[in-house]
Amino acid sequence: MRSPTVYCGPMWGGKTEALISALVRARIQEIPTLAFNPAKNARYGTKDIRAHSGASFPAIAVTSGAEILAHVHDLQPQLVGIDEFFMIEGAIEAVRVLRARGTRVVIATLDMDSEGATWESVGELLGIAEEVVKCPAVCAACKADAYFTFRRGRAPAGRVLVGAGEFYEPRCWACFDEGQRSKRAQVGRGSLFADGASVKIPLRR
């Protein structure tokens, strides 16, 4: 396995599923493995990395890269898995240290926020990764490949908002852009979407 290996893309793209598959494979190969989940990622609890499909792998909840390194020091795994990398403060520094020590690292993370801006730490991560796998979802509006995570108009403010279908949906670029422009227009009129429902945008030809 190349290290770091990064599975990235929008929500519902199968990133965590791919991470879990890599961790399960390592366990079958009897490679000492340790997995981490951000403590704030409480959608399905924090004791497991869990995909939307229901697949899971035991994990330790952490808030910082320093905590990752402390657990690695104590337990000495050969392979470390990190889910929702962008949520863990200082995770990029931990990855650099693990790489220098020869510990293999596999990661699942959103690459962009719901405004289409790259998470700063993820940008650094992609720069040092030996393998990057982009995992597209299916656009909720037109069913094309989706590489963006769209936040519905009635979702609470804040760059990090833990949630799933109640706040977010995957979209292709055309539908994401149209949705963003619609939200800006609604804000300009003093309101957002009345019910938070997705706006169905026809596929552009």
User: What is the pTM for the complete model shown?
Assistant: 0.85
pLDDT digits (tens, 9 = 90+) for 162-182: 655 578 999 999 999 999 999
Burial of residue 180, with CB atoms counted within 10 A of its CB: 0-12 exposed, 13-18 middle, 19 or more buried: middle
End-to-end Cα distance, the chain: 40
The residue from 17, 30, 67, 84 that is catalytic is 84
**What is the per-residue pLDDT for 149?**
95
Output the pLDDT for position 194: 36
Structural contact between residues 75 and 36, judged by C-beta atoms closer than 8 angstroms: no
Q: What is the pLDDT of residues 89-115, one digit of tens each?
A: 999 999 999 999 999 999 999 999 999
Per-residue confidence (pLDDT) for residue 75, from 0 to 100:
97
Which comes out higher in pLDDT, residue 167 or 161? Answer: 167
Stretch 119-140: mean pLDDT = 97
**Range in 41-45, 93-97, 127-131, 150-154 with the lowest mean pLDDT:** 41-45
- Check: CB of residue 119 under 8 Å from CB of residue 154: no
Beta carbons of 9 and 15 less than 8 angstroms apart: yes
Residue 84 bears catalytic tag = yes
Q: What are the phi and psi torsion angles at 174 (to 5°)?
A: -60, -45
